Structure 1
Amino acid sequence: MDSSDIDLKEIIGILRRQVRLIGLSFIVILVPVIIYLALATPMYRATALISIDAGGSNLLDPRETQNSQSAILNSRVDGEVEVLRADSTILAVVEKGELVRDPEFGARLGLRERIAIALGLDGAADRLRRAVGLRPSEPRSGEALVKSTISQVRSAVEVRRRGLTYLISVGVTSADPQRAAELANLYVDTYIERQVVSKTETINDARDVLQRQTENARQNLTRAEEDLNTFIDDNLARLEAESDDPSVGRIRRELESAQASRSTNVALLQATEDAAERSDWITVAATLEDSALDQLAREREQLLDRLSGETAGSQAEIDLRSALASVEQNLNETFAEAQGSVESRLDTISQNEQAAREQLRDALLRTDVSSEVVADLFNLQQNATIAREQYQRLLSRVQDLSALANVQVSDARVVSEALPPTSAASPNKRLFISAALVLAIGVGVGIALLNEYYIGGITSLAQLKNLSVARAIGTIPDSVSEGDAQLLGNQIIDAPLSQYSESMRKLRLAIDTNLAQGRAERTQESEGKQRGIVILVASALPGEGKTTSAIALARTYAASGKRTLLIDADLRRPSIGNYLNVTPEYGLIDYLDPDTSHKQLKPYVDTVENLIFVPAGHRSTKPTDQLINSDLFLKMIATVREEFDIIILDSPPVLPVVDSRYLAQIADIVVMIVRFANTTQTEFRDAATQLSEVIQPGVRLLAALNRNASPSRRSYYGSGYAGYYGDEKA
């Protein structure tokens, strides 16, 4: 299978092997979530729905509408959403609902303050500050409390527009469902009230500005009328003389009569008002020539004369004062009626005067007076007309704004009040559990894959078979403890029917089968040159059991009648001699070293018939790859091929040193021993890839899973494979 392909069967196998790790991730993630859901306070959300009249409304003129372009209307709705979210709106809600003192939304003690109070340390900080000459901390001000409450309310309120409609939902979250509904309705009611107030204030401000402009227009109108009247009055005699129209003289006399009558009545009103202020009702009655008023004035005088002769506090004095008060009331009422009659007459005279002036203006404009006079008169009349129109227009607008301010309504209305929710909005148990399950599955599978490929070791033959870099041929069972690891090879002799011995025979069969298949892939020329079979037993790292497996495999071949040679090719850390209780004077290292005098190998005979082994001897003080790659070593291998059927090489681990890659070049088959649950897939892949790059065509790369205990490879990591780099202490 290509590394880029996805093998479902392989993934299922990985998950089955890592089921405990996945289950642990479920427990680690789900248990806290379940505890949180059990302890969390349920929060309820109530939602009120309001509709925005984006086009605006005018009760005085329902046909009037504002700009109805879609973009503008949408912008206005979005703007109202921001107004609802604004701090000023939240502050108004806080003030109206008195939420500063609310147990849920009001200012609360922080975690640090609660801990200090619980431990009795709430005053210790102030005492310490006084001790060092600092002022004690001041309690939070009212402004700070309001800001804290605003923050709490803001986090509990959600305002959002419903799609592209003109509907806005206002949701409030609270621990009490009834309280949540009350606050949601309070929020929208406060917003609508503020909108009405804002619109009314805006209209009133505009009305005040127009009122000032109206007053200026009224003054301009007065000046324009006065200028026109003054011009006519000053030039009336000359205008009449220049005019040929006899109506000008008649209108002039009417105007002068109206002016005289107006002056008389004005003087009459002023005189009567002055006399009334002095309570000189006789003079008032004589001036107005009102007999009823004269009779009341005389009755008042008689009552005053009689009252002056009565004893203070007597019944007669009281009766007289009561009668006097009644007469004075009648006097005031009668005087008011008389004054009204005079004022009405004065209004009529003023209207007649104004009509006469207008007739005179029209008549003068029609007559043949000088062009200069006509131009001046026309300009003055036009200025008065323009001033009058401007004044009337402003006055009408002021009256419209005053009426509009009194009937102002909000552009928003509540279409659905908030009701107490029946179920909690948070925590959403289904969502939490679903998310936790998804997270647990994701984390579990991720950790399983991480453990499968990078952290954890290979734990099954199926897992080993999934790795396409080598062919998995079997499993070496768990037979002895770590302290008895060197006795494994003895089981081939002492317990030939044991599970361990049987597994070694299975490995031998698998090796023979792959050798036969590999021969078919070689050329006849290369096959004819080689007789003995070279089997390289290797491992990715130290401590994977390759040496004990090499000994057991060699004894298995020897027991089957094959002439077998076991060579300790691990020149970095020779170990076969120790396992077979042989302490050689010299070995393979001395034979290959050109600086020594030992030019012959000293083989040793094992207890198993047909098995000869060559120990490596003492550790080399030179780079061993030079010895392995020498012509002498190659000649030695060629020689032993002629003498033995099977030659088994116990090699150094692949990843720490390079020797195994030289040995793999002369091997007919390579068997990698993989330590159960200790060698990761990455490490095995790296080692197998390095060997597959150097082996000859047709040479098979095999792998066996070793479940037996042996010294951990981790002991070599502390010094970076120090045992394979000449460190005696490793």
Structure 2
Amino acid sequence: MQPDRQNAAGIGELIKLALVFIRRQYLVIIFATLLASAASLIYLRLVSPAYTAQVQVLFENPRAQFLQKQSLLSEPTVDVTQIETQLQIIKSQATAAAVIKQLTLADHPDFKEVRPLQSWLLGLLRRWRSAPSQGAQPTPPEQPSEATIANFLDRLSAGRVGYSHVIEIAFTSSDPALAADIANAIAKAYINDQLEAKFEATRTATSWLRERLRNLGEEALTAERAVEAYKSQNNIVSSGGKPIDEQQITELNTRLATARAQSSEATAKLSRYEALLAVDPAKPSSIGNLDAIGSDAMNSPIITSLRQQYLELARREAELSARVGRDHLAVVNIRNRLREFRVSILDEVKRLSEISRSEAELAKQRQQEIEKRLSVAIAQSRLTNSAELTIRDLESRAKSLRGLYDTFLQQYMGSAQQESFPISETRVIFPASAAQTKSKPKAKVVLSVGLLGGLALGLLLGFVRDVMDRVFRTSSQLEAALDLPCLSLVPILSLPRQQRSAARPQQTQEDSNQRILSSAPDIHRAVVGMPLSRYTEAIRSIKIAIDHSPAKTPNQVIGVTSALPNEGKTTIAASVAQLIGHSGKKVIIVDCDLRNPSLSARLVPKALDGIIEVMKGDRSLDEVVWRDPNTTLAVLPAVQRGRVLHSSELLSDGSICKLFDRLRQSYDYVIVDLPPLSPLVDVRVTAPLIDCYVLVVEWGRTKIDVVQHALHTAPTISDSLIGAVLNKTDIKAMARYDTHRSDYYDDSHYIRYGLSSS
């Protein structure tokens, strides 16, 4: 179940990302879709309608069975390659030229018009193919021009219908009747071309057969005459082979096999006799092997009589031995007589062995005699074998030539008959007719392509726009790019109309003399005027991050800076100071942007002296500090009397360190409005003065690479940063960028606790 849940979550996340992407780029997508749809409508209005006529041709083999047997040419196998070849023939320039001449289409407007680019390319191709010394060959008057043929082929199409043997020929023209006539003419020209090609092939083959038959007849007659001449020279009456007595050799082979069998049998019998005679006659076991000799020993009456007497004595010996014992005199006498019988039997066996030896020698001599006669017969046959092989080879060649002549004669007769029976392998099964509806442009297809193409183009442009959007949009993006926590998302503050009209009251002379902030301009007092706004809640988040820094050290002096000017760092610094002062803490905001003191110009435009005069000793701190009567906020301005050339030296002077030590003792918080990082180097020298820094980044405008480069060039500042603030955030647009926390930006969550969306 766990992998299924993960897959479902992954698919849901992808769908959510896609929907958010569309919400971000929907204007681009809609614009591209409308533009492509408008282009499709213009195309439909400008392009003239065209009509397509179609004719279907069946490519098969309808030849009669009796003609297939007599056909000189092999029957073509209808396969993909064969059909593709026929399609190329249909779309060839030869077929186009024949139809153009037949219907006189050279002057028709559909084929007379030539595109400039196409004409130029055709001319260039002709010049490249022709030799440098040869000029361009003019087109014959009866032949259509290449431009006309090219226009004709552009309107012609041919293809196979499914996996069948049906070819569909289509032609497109502005005139539906003309399109049907041309399509039918193309089919007819193709069928006529097939018939003409078959006639030409058959005529060529018949002519070749006629010449080949004449040569084969002469060769067969010459071979037959050579056979008869060779028989006469070698006195060969017939092909049966009178000089070679094959029957004699066969008979000798049979007799030799019989003689070898008899010789082997006699030798084996002699071996058995010799094995029996090799046994000691005194042993009774010498008589037990008589059966192994064979039928000669068993048929001998002498051996049979002696053996019967021997067996009778052996029985009597066994009986007496059982009654009186083996050592009795009668038993010993019987045993002696048994020994005599064995000797007599072996003597008779010796006689039979001699007879067997004579028979073996006689069989061997007979075998040798037959082998000699066979060798002589074979030697004689070898002498006459050459003549026999020669006559057989001559007869075989003569017979082959005669058979080949007969076969070619049959083919020739069949091809001659086939010429009088013309038939094509193709036929029209569905002729073309005038179309009632236009084939192009198809309004639905063009509009669908335009709509889908515009949608795809819009998605592509939106994707490119999304990829090229290298600015800060979300807190997670900021944290990943800068490796800093995002302290707050400060929204764009839209002041009410009444408050906006009273935002810039003129300071009275009394206020200037007493250095009292009568009213802060614009949005610097928004946290006081709108304490339950979303903007004030974002400033509170910055205040909490300052008080609860992970460094576990008190952050009393807080520097506020940015990478570029006009990112709202001064507004953030003033708002944080106003919030702290409104809470009852003693706070002072110091304008350290000596080259462009925008904070002083907005809060105390009538100030005559500031931080530079205090550093020089011209004024005391109490003489230049301005105070807010409604809160405990104090302002230490910077008065610009001229161009400050060495602002970094002023901020690194020892006098400013003493000034900040005094501020630490007099105030709970010191908020320092610093210059931006990228244009100036002043912020880099303020590290000894500041406890922590807050980086302000403008939402949707500041480039990621610019901020990264600014922090890389100021490592001392980067190490002391407690986080960054996304300023001027469009909260309504955040849901389109921050997909994981889209519900976080809903105003209903804030309204529930009495907070306004401003």
Normalising by the smaller structure, the TM-score range is 0.5 to 0.7
Q: Quick one: distance in 2 between partners of 1:224 and 1:569?
A: 126
Matched residue, 2:414: 400
Q: Quick one: distance in 2 between partners of 1:567 and 1:700?
A: 20
Q: Quick one: distance in 2 between partners of 1:502 and 1:164?
A: 83
Q: Do 1:496 and 1:502's aligned partners in 2 also have CA atoms closer than 8 Å?
A: no
Matched residue, 1:85: 91
Q: Do 1:454 and 1:680's aligned partners in 2 also have CA atoms closer than 8 Å?
A: no
Alignment RMSD (CA, Å):
5.5
- Amino acid aligned to 1:474: P
Q: Quick one: distance in 1 between partners of 2:218 and 2:474?
A: 107
How far has the Cα of 1:157 moved from its partner? Answer: 1.7
Q: Quick one: distance in 1 between partners of 2:214 and 2:571?
A: 117
Change (3 A) 1:10 1:399: closer
Q: Do 2:139 and 2:145's aligned partners in 1 also have CA atoms closer than 8 Å?
A: no
Alignment of 1:195-274 (within 5 A): 195-214=194-213
Q: Quick one: distance in 1 between partners of 2:505 and 2:196?
A: 96
The alignment covers a number of residue pairs equal to: 512
Q: Do 1:584 and 1:615's aligned partners in 2 also have CA atoms closer than 8 Å?
A: no
Matched residue, 1:438: 452
Deviations 1:345-370 (A, max 9, x none): xxxxxxxxxxxxxxxxxxxxxxxxxx
Matched residue, 2:694: 670
Matched residue, 1:23: 30
Q: Do 1:674 and 1:705's aligned partners in 2 also have CA atoms closer than 8 Å?
A: yes
Alignment of 1:645-664 (within 5 A): 645-656=668-679
> Which of 410, 426, 450 is the equivalent residue of 2:424?
410
Q: Do 1:474 and 1:503's aligned partners in 2 also have CA atoms closer than 8 Å?
A: no
Q: Do 1:515 and 1:669's aligned partners in 2 also have CA atoms closer than 8 Å?
A: no
How far has the Cα of 1:614 moved from its partner? Answer: 3.8
> Which of 64, 72, 79 is the equivalent residue of 1:73?
79
Q: Quick one: distance in 1 between partners of 2:218 and 2:99?
A: 46
SS of the counterpart of 2:89?
helix
Change (3 A) 1:576 1:156: same
SS of the counterpart of 2:67?
coil
Q: Quick one: distance in 1 between partners of 2:677 and 2:417?
A: 99
Q: Quick one: distance in 2 between partners of 1:184 and 1:693?
A: 85
Change (3 A) 1:427 1:208: same
SS of the counterpart of 2:419?
helix
Alignment of 1:554-593 (within 5 A): 554=577, 557-558=580-581, 561-570=584-593, 573-579=596-602, 580-581=604-605, 587=611
Q: Do 1:43 and 1:426's aligned partners in 2 also have CA atoms closer than 8 Å?
A: yes
Matched residue, 2:112: 107
SS of the counterpart of 1:51?
strand
Q: Do 2:176 and 2:434's aligned partners in 1 also have CA atoms closer than 8 Å?
A: yes
Identity %: 19
- Amino acid aligned to 2:544: A
Q: Quick one: distance in 1 between partners of 2:59 and 2:719?
A: 84
SS of the counterpart of 1:100?
coil
Structure 1 stretch displaced more, 428-437 or 391-400: 391-400
Matched residue, 1:534: 558
- Amino acid aligned to 1:108: E
How far has the Cα of 1:422 moved from its partner? Answer: 4.4
How far has the Cα of 1:195 moved from its partner? Answer: 1.2
Q: Do 2:600 and 2:638's aligned partners in 1 also have CA atoms closer than 8 Å?
A: yes
| 1:608 pairs with 2:628 | yes
Deviations 1:594-648 (A, max 9, x none): xx99999798333634322242856554694x87688887776565344333433
Alignment of 1:710-729 (within 5 A): none
Alignment of 1:415-494 (within 5 A): 415-451=429-465, 454=468, 467=477, 469=479, 470=486, 471-477=488-494, 493=520
How far has the Cα of 1:546 moved from its partner? Answer: 3.6
Change (3 A) 1:520 1:561: closer
Q: Quick one: distance in 1 between partners of 2:431 and 2:59?
A: 15
Matched residue, 1:167: 166
| 1:148 pairs with 2:147 | yes
How far has the Cα of 1:705 moved from its partner? Answer: 0.9
Change (3 A) 1:77 1:581: same
Q: Quick one: distance in 2 between partners of 1:201 and 1:82?
A: 20
Deviations 1:210-265 (A, max 9, x none): 2344456678899999x99xx9xxxxxxxxxxxxxxxxxxxxxxxxxxxxxxxxxx
SS of the counterpart of 1:398?
helix
Q: Quick one: distance in 2 between partners of 1:692 and 1:190?
A: 86
How far has the Cα of 1:32 moved from its partner? Answer: 1.6
Q: Quick one: distance in 2 between partners of 1:576 and 1:669?
A: 18
Deviations 1:542-587 (A, max 9, x none): 3344435544654565466543333334456444444443687785
| 1:187 pairs with 2:201 | no
SS of the counterpart of 1:424?
coil
Q: Do 2:54 and 2:171's aligned partners in 1 also have CA atoms closer than 8 Å?
A: yes
Structure 2 length-normalised TM: 0.54
- Amino acid aligned to 2:491: G
Q: Quick one: distance in 2 between partners of 1:485 and 1:558?
A: 22
Structure with larger Rg? 2
Q: Quick one: distance in 1 between partners of 2:428 and 2:46?
A: 36
Q: Quick one: distance in 1 between partners of 2:12 and 2:594?
A: 41
Q: Do 1:491 and 1:498's aligned partners in 2 also have CA atoms closer than 8 Å?
A: no
SS of the counterpart of 2:415?
helix
> Which of 39, 43, 49 is the equivalent residue of 1:42?
49
Q: Quick one: distance in 1 between partners of 2:468 and 2:448?
A: 29
Deviations 1:14-50 (A, max 9, x none): 5445544433323322212211123322233333333
Residue ranges of structure 2 left out of the alignment (5+ in a row): 1-10, 120-135, 230-392, 480-485, 507-516, 731-758
Change (3 A) 1:546 1:473: closer
Deviations 1:679-722 (A, max 9, x none): 56776788799999965699342222179xxxxxxxxxxxxxxx
How far has the Cα of 1:416 moved from its partner? Answer: 3.6
Matched residue, 1:129: none
Matched residue, 1:516: 544
Matched residue, 2:511: none
Alignment of 1:351-390 (within 5 A): none
How far has the Cα of 1:203 moved from its partner? Answer: 1.0
Matched residue, 2:663: 640
Structure 1 stretch displaced more, 15-24 or 447-456: 447-456
- Amino acid aligned to 2:419: A
Structure 1 length-normalised TM: 0.55
Change (3 A) 1:630 1:496: closer
Q: Do 1:653 and 1:660's aligned partners in 2 also have CA atoms closer than 8 Å?
A: yes
Q: Quick one: distance in 1 between partners of 2:530 and 2:90?
A: 79
Q: Do 1:479 and 1:500's aligned partners in 2 also have CA atoms closer than 8 Å?
A: no
Q: Quick one: distance in 1 between partners of 2:618 and 2:163?
A: 96
Residue ranges of structure 1 left out of the alignment (5+ in a row): 115-136, 232-378, 708-730
Q: Quick one: distance in 2 between partners of 1:56 and 1:616?
A: 109
